[in-house]
Amino acid sequence: MMRTVEVLLVVIILGAAYLAVSSYVTLPSPTKVSPTDLNRVAFTTLQELDSRYDLSSAVFQTNNVTEWGNLQTAISAALPANMIYNLTVYNVNTASNGASLYTNIASFSDSQSLGQGSDASSYLVASSNVTYISSPQQISVNGNPITLYILDCSDTAGWWTTGYTPSSLAQQLYELLSPYFNTTIMVQNTSQLGQLLNGQSLQGEAINNSIIINTCGESVPIPANFGSSGMNSTQGYDSSNGSYAMYDYTLGRLTQLYNWTWVSIVGYPFYYVTNTGFLSSTQNSWGIYGMNCVSSQGLNAFLEGLDNQPYLYNTTWITGAPSGIVYLSSQTQNLCNYYGLYPSPYQTSTRALPTAITPQFNLSITTYLFNTTFDGSAYDPGAVYRHHWTANINGVNVTSYQGGFFALGMTRIPDIRLAALGILCDYEPVRYGSLFTAAGANRLVVLQLAMVGGG
C-alpha cells in the first residue's frame, strides 16, 4: 500500500512540474522552424515572369499604363496570398571609371511597409535593341584558308541516309559549316567531282588541304570517266575482279596527295559507288538503281591508297558493331556549348572502325568524337584520322601528316550535326563575340518579398 502511495506522489510532483515549466515555454511558429526562402522565391518569380520576355518588355515601358499594370497583376497572381512585395526598376549606366551606376526609375508595391523580415532578389534585363553577334574564325592550314567541298551531286543516290536525300543533307551542312570557311563549294554533279579529282579547281579556289564531305552515306559518287569504259577506267575499275574498289583506292591516293580530309557521315564508308547515269541499270542488291556494291573492299582500298600502299583486292570486313550505346567524348561535350551544336550525347554504332587500323595504315587519331569502346576488340565509333609518315632528315626522324579521314560509323539515319561537330572539334576555330548596345539598354529589377499573417 505504501509503494502505491509513493508512486502516486511521484506522478503528482512530475505533473505539477510539467505544468509549471510549460506555462513559461513558448514554441516557435512553424514558419520559424522551416522558414520560406524569400530570396529564392523572388528570383524564381522574376525568371518565370521573363520566360517569354514579358518582364523585359514591361520594364522598358514604365510609362505605358497598360504594360505596367499588367506586370503588377502578373506578380500578384504569381505570389501566394500571404506574401507582400515591392518591385523596383533601376536604369544601369556606366561611370567614367567603369563602375556601374544605378538610377531608380519606377517602382510599385502592394504594401506601405514590408517590415524587417523581408528579403529580395535582383534580375538584369536587356533592351530588345541590344544585339549580340558572333563572328567565327576562318579555318586554315599554316595560316592559309582552306576550301570546304560538299558533295551535292544531283546524279547520285544515297544509302543509309534513311529519310534524307544527299541534297537535303548537303544544304544542312552548308548552313552549319560555311561561316567557318573562306570558300565553300557545293559540288553539283559527278562531272564537277571528276574535274576536282583531276586536280582542277571549280571556281579558282585552292584545292590543297581541303575538306570533302560525302553526303551520300555508304555510297560514294563516281564520275563517268572513272567507270569501266571511261577514259580514267584504270584508276576506277578493277577489271580482274570486276570491282570499283580501284576507284576508292584512287580516292585514298588523291586524299594523301592533296592533303584532303575525306568525311564519311554514316555507316560503312565506301561500301557502294553511285552514278545514276552510267550505272542507271545497276542496282545495289536492295533495289536502288544507279548504285553498285563494292562491299568491304572499298574501305580497305581507300586506306591502302591513303597510306600509299600497293593496291590489293582485300575482302576483309573490318568494322565492328559494339553492343549497347556509345558516348560523345569529354572534348566533344565541352565544345558543344561553344559551337552551339547539341546532338544526343549517346548513339548506336554498327560500323565502328577498329583501333587496329591506326598502326596498319600509319594513322593518328587527332579527334575522338566518341569514346573508344571495348567490346571484344577496341573500336572508335567516330574519329578523325590523320595519315603520318616519318623521314630521317639530317639524322633526325621527322613526322609529317598528309591526308585525313573522318569516319562516323553510326547506325543509319545520320545526325548531320555530328559531322559538323567533328570538323569543328578537330580544327577548333575561335568564335569572336561582339556586343552592340547603347546607354540605358540594361535595367536591374529588384523584387522584395515579405510574409504576413503568421506564414
The answer to whether residues 83 and 108 belong to one domain is: yes
Asked if residue 4 belongs to a domain, the reply is no
Does pTM surpass 0.85? Answer: no
What pLDDT, in 10s, does the model give residues 61-71? 989 999 999 99
The answer to whether residues 171 and 199 belong to one domain is: yes
The burial of 159, by beta-carbon neighbours within 10 Å (0-12 exposed, 13-18 middle, 19 or more buried), is given as buried
Asked if residue 426 belongs to a domain, the reply is yes
Q: Is the pLDDT of residue 24 over 60?
A: no
Lowest-pLDDT choice from 42-56, 264-278, 344-358, 427-441: 427-441
The answer to whether residues 201 and 312 belong to one domain is: yes
What is the pLDDT at residue 35? 59
Q: Is the pLDDT of residue 390 over 60?
A: yes
With bands split at pLDDT 50, 70 and 90, how would you rate the model's confidence at 414?
confident
What is d(CA 404, CA 401) in angstroms, rounded to the nearest whole number? 8
Mean pLDDT of 430-442: 69
With bands split at pLDDT 50, 70 and 90, how would you rate the model's confidence at 167?
very high
Of residues 198 and 454, which shows the higher confidence score?
198
What is the pLDDT at residue 324? 82
Residues with Cβ within 8 Å of 72's Cβ and at least 6 positions away in sequence, in order, are: 87, 108
Asked if residue 1 belongs to a domain, the reply is no
CA distances to 44, 45, 47, 54, 81 from 51, rounded to whole Å, are 10, 10, 6, 7, 22
Asked if residue 234 belongs to a domain, the reply is yes
pLDDT, mean over the chain: 88
The answer to whether residues 226 and 238 belong to one domain is: yes
What is the pLDDT at residue 284? 86
The answer to whether residues 424 and 442 belong to one domain is: no
The answer to whether residues 338 and 206 belong to one domain is: yes
Longest dimension (CA), the chain: 126
Mean pLDDT of 397-417: 87
The answer to whether residues 119 and 230 belong to one domain is: no
Mean pLDDT of 400-409: 93
Rg of the chain on CA atoms, in Å: 35
Asked if residue 22 belongs to a domain, the reply is no
Lowest-pLDDT choice from 183-197, 403-417, 439-453: 439-453
Cell numbers describing residue 255: 586524299
What is the pLDDT at residue 33? 44
Q: Is the pLDDT of residue 48 over 60?
A: yes
Cell numbers describing residue 64: 505605358
What is d(CA 317, CA 202) in angstroms, rounded to the nearest whole number? 36
Q: Is the pLDDT of residue 150 over 60?
A: yes
pLDDT above 70 covers a percentage of the chain that reads 87
The answer to whether residues 227 and 246 belong to one domain is: yes
The answer to whether residues 124 and 165 belong to one domain is: no
Asked if residue 17 belongs to a domain, the reply is no
Q: Supply the DSSP string of 421-441, one letter for each residue.
A: HHHHHHH---EEEEEE--TT-
With bands split at pLDDT 50, 70 and 90, how would you rate the model's confidence at 58?
very high
Mean pLDDT of 368-384: 93
What pLDDT, in 10s, does the model give residues 227-284? 999 999 999 999 999 999 999 999 999 999 999 999 999 999 999 999 999 999 998 8
Of residues 75 and 53, which shows the higher confidence score?
75
Of residues 455 and 41, which shows the higher confidence score?
41
Mean pLDDT of 146-173: 93
The answer to whether residues 326 and 258 belong to one domain is: yes
What is the pLDDT at residue 9? 62
What is the pLDDT at residue 318? 93
Asked if residue 11 belongs to a domain, the reply is no
What is d(CA 50, CA 15) in angstroms, rounded to the nearest whole number? 59
Asked if residue 5 belongs to a domain, the reply is no
Half-sphere exposure of 445 (CA within 13 A, CB side): 27
What pLDDT, in 10s, does the model give residues 300-359? 999 999 999 999 999 999 999 988 899 999 999 999 989 999 999 999 999 999 999 999
Mean pLDDT of 412-437: 86
The answer to whether residues 285 and 140 belong to one domain is: yes
CATH number of the domain enclosing 92: 3.30.1140
- Domain count along the chain: 2
The answer to whether residues 197 and 342 belong to one domain is: yes
Residue from 387, 363, 226, 383 nearest 294 by CA: 226
Instruction: List the domain range (segments joined by +) for residue 310.
Output: 135-434
